[in-house]
Amino acid sequence: MSTWRRDERALWRRSFDRIVILAAERPEPLLLEGTGRVIWDLLEEPRECAELIMMLAEAFRRDAAEVDLETTPFLMELRAAGALAVT
Amino acid sequence: MTARWYVRQVAAFGLPGHDHPIRGCGDGGVLRQPLDPATFGGLVALVRRLRLTGLLQAVVVADALPVTEDQRRRADDLHVSACITALLLERTLLNVVDALERAGVEVLVLKGSAAAHLLYADPTLRMFGDNDLLFRSEQFAEALELLARLGYRRAAVAPRRGFDRRFGKGATLTGASGDELDVHRTLLFGSFGLTIELDELFDSAVTFVVGGRQLRALGPDMGLLHACYHAALGDPEPRLGSLRDVAQRFALGSHDPGSVVQFARRWRAEPVVARAIDLCGQRLGVDIADPVATVLAGHRPSRREQRAIDSYVGANRSHAAKVLASLPYLDGVIDKAAFLGANLVPAAGFIRSRGGRPGPAWLRRGVRSLRHGGAR
């Protein structure tokens, strides 16, 4: 079971409802808002994928299977962008 | 004037007794309506200049200042921009500290990122526009050489060889990408910087984490003293952000009041701490209730101390005024002669870097500035 967490090398700050992230060795900052911001907040501590999906489904009052379909690619994007890490 | 009324409240927001809604400047009652566009525009301009965007964000998020959707968006965009600056600086900081420490150079981070992470649960509240580093005197030259190899250039050279190590405050360097790096040997130039026992700055260092890396900063007692120095003497018009740092440190209460008072006395810094506390009350509207204030707030500067303070923030802040005011703070004739000599007859490169002409013209300029005053 994969565990997602914030990449500790990523530098970040909060501005209102957005998160500004400067991932390690990336030239440009990343801005997270909406679902991206919620994911970042939920990953204040590492979470197993299934737990993260359930929490998102609850937060947005949606079916977990649908959330899983949409969220997993997004998590992979954030990992590729250096914001998240997975073990 | 109106924007200043509001920015003062923003700068103090969240301190004990200052987490209430923003008060209007008319009747002093709680604001019920968003500010008019001109006033909000003035507030935003000040907040940007004073790097208080994080606190403005806090005020709006706490519903302590009613805003229109457009005003909220402006405040958000302003803060995002400030956040990006801070993050880029932190990345630079990590790279620079990494290079220095691998070379065996000990370094402490002053203000900026250290203040953000050590003084606030959420570092977004404390924005900054440059990096400041402190080195031991004996490693200062080595640090400068290493930083030069990393692409950092120094605009103003030292007055004479050896001056940096013996008397200098430090230097301002500019990186290849235009970032500013202030490197310090002591906390400020001249009088009050000469009496600091520099090794003590390193003795009580604490750590903080940025990007998974541990960095070192001044401990609570030294950090409070540094904040007082910076707020009291750093600018002729005290910056609200600097005063907020002083008030925030007092509010946190991590310092040992007895120790702070002891250091202030040993460093002859009582008038500096007293001035910082006084300015918090006058300019920030925050009365410091702390044993340090009880002991030092009533300190009346002697004529010598006032002359020293004036050389930083008075009408005559010229280099010549600082040099003269510093003499009583140097121990022994040899040090006084060396300090005076380096400043009266500095190297030609130093004079040119300050926009002067080597030779008698430099001395005449110094005498004129003593007579007629002027900025540093």
Q: Give chain B positions within 8 Å (CB) of A22.
A: 84, 87-88, 90-91
Torsion sign (Cα): B301, B307, B311, B313: positive
Q: Give chain B positions within 8 Å (CB) of A20.
A: 80, 83-84, 87
A55 and chain B in contact, CB less than 8 A: no
Is it the case that residue A34 has pLDDT exceeding 70? Answer: yes
Report ipTM for this prediction.
0.95
Region B152-170: mean pLDDT is 86
List, in sequence order, the alpha helices (H) in chain B.
2-12, 37-49, 53-61, 69-102, 112-119, 137-149, 163-166, 191-194, 198-203, 220-233, 240-252, 257-266, 270-279, 291-296, 303-313, 319-326, 332-344, 348-353, 360-372
The beta-carbon neighbor of B124 closest among A8, A15, A29 is A15
- Computed over every residue of chain B, the mean pLDDT equals 93
Is it the case that residue B347 has pLDDT exceeding 90? Answer: no
Q: Which of B280, B213, B237, B205 is nearest to B18 (CA)?
A: B280
Is it the case that residue B278 has pLDDT exceeding 90? Answer: yes
Helix (H, G, I), strand (E, B) or coil at B361: helix
Q: Please indicate whether, in this complex, the C-beta atoms of B75 and A10 are within 8 angstroms of each other.
A: no
**Taking an 8 Å Cβ-Cβ cutoff, which residues of chain B contact chain A?**
57, 60-61, 72, 75-76, 79-80, 83-84, 86-88, 90-91, 122-124, 210-212
Please check whether residue B104 is in contact with residue B138, taking contact to mean a CB–CB distance below 8 angstroms.
no
Is it the case that residue B27 has pLDDT exceeding 90? Answer: no
Q: Which helix or strand (DSSP H or E) is residue A60 part of?
A: helix A49-60
Q: Which residues, 6 or more positions from B209, have their beta carbon under 8 angstroms from its beta carbon? A: B117, B215
**β-bridge partners, A18:** A15
Report in angstroms the alpha-carbon separations of B94 from A49, B99, B161: 31, 9, 30
- Rounded to two decimals, the pTM is 0.93
Q: Give chain B positions within 8 Å (CB) of A15.
A: 57, 76, 79-80, 83, 124
Alpha-carbon distance B212 to nearest alpha carbon in chain A (angstroms) = 5
The beta-carbon neighbor of A16 closest among B57, B210, B212 is B57
The beta-carbon neighbor of B211 closest among A11, A14, A31 is A11
The beta-carbon neighbor of A18 closest among B60, B80, B210 is B80
Per-residue model confidence (pLDDT) at position B166:
86
Q: Please indicate whether, in this complex, the C-beta atoms of A15 and B123 are within 8 angstroms of each other.
A: no
Q: B66 vs B165, which has greater pLDDT? A: B66
Per-residue model confidence (pLDDT) at position B376:
47
Please check whether residue A82 is in contact with residue A4, taking contact to mean a CB–CB distance below 8 angstroms.
no
Q: Which of B6, B7, B55 is nearest to B26 (CA)?
A: B6
Region B86-95: mean pLDDT is 97
Is it the case that residue B359 has pLDDT exceeding 50? Answer: yes
Q: Which two tokens stand for residue B349?
A: 């490169």
**β-bridge partners, B154:** B173
Region A34-47: mean pLDDT is 96
Is it the case that residue B362 has pLDDT exceeding 60? Answer: yes
Name the percent of chain B lying above pLDDT 90.
78
Q: Range with the lowest mean pLDDT among B22-26, B42-46, B130-134, B311-315?
A: B22-26
Is it the case that residue B17 has pLDDT exceeding 50? Answer: yes
Angle between helices B270-279 and B257-266 (to 10 degrees): 120
Region B323-352: mean pLDDT is 88
Q: What is the pLDDT of residues B29-40, one digit of tens each?
A: 899 999 999 999
Residue A17 and residue A38: Cα distance in Å, rounded? 9
Alpha-carbon distance A73 to nearest alpha carbon in chain B (angstroms) = 25
Per-residue model confidence (pLDDT) at position B372:
65
Q: What is the pLDDT of residues B215-265, one digit of tens each?
A: 999 999 999 999 999 999 999 999 999 999 999 999 999 999 999 999 999
Q: What is the pLDDT of residues B91-126, one digit of tens each?
A: 999 999 999 999 999 999 999 999 999 999 999 999
Burial of B38 (0-12, 13-18, 19+ CB in 10 A): exposed
Window A:21-40, CB contacts with B under 8 Å: 21-22, 24, 29, 31
Region B13-22: mean pLDDT is 94
Per-residue model confidence (pLDDT) at position B98:
98
Q: Chain A residue closest to B63 (CA)?
A: A16
Alpha-carbon distance A67 to nearest alpha carbon in chain B (angstroms) = 29
Is it the case that residue B288 has pLDDT exceeding 80? Answer: yes
CB < 8 Å & 24+ apart, contacts of B43-46: B43/B3, B43/B6, B43/B7, B43/B10, B44/B74, B44/B75, B44/B78, B45/B3, B46/B3, B46/B4, B46/B7
Q: Please indicate whether, in this complex, the C-beta atoms of B86 and A13 are within 8 angstroms of each other.
A: yes
**β-bridge partners, B172:** B182
Alpha-carbon distance B259 to nearest alpha carbon in chain A (angstroms) = 34
Q: Range with the lowest mean pLDDT among A16-30, B13-27, B334-348, B361-375?
A: B361-375
Is it the case that residue B375 has pLDDT exceeding 60? Answer: no
Alpha-carbon distance B91 to nearest alpha carbon in chain A (angstroms) = 8
Name the percent of chain A lying above pLDDT 90.
94
Is it the case that residue B357 has pLDDT exceeding 90? Answer: no
Q: Which of B282, B292, B283 is nearest to B225 (CA)?
A: B292
Q: Give chain B positions within 8 Å (CB) of A10.
A: 211
Residue A59 and residue A57: Cα distance in Å, rounded? 6
Region A38-59: mean pLDDT is 95
Is it the case that residue B18 has pLDDT exceeding 60? Answer: yes
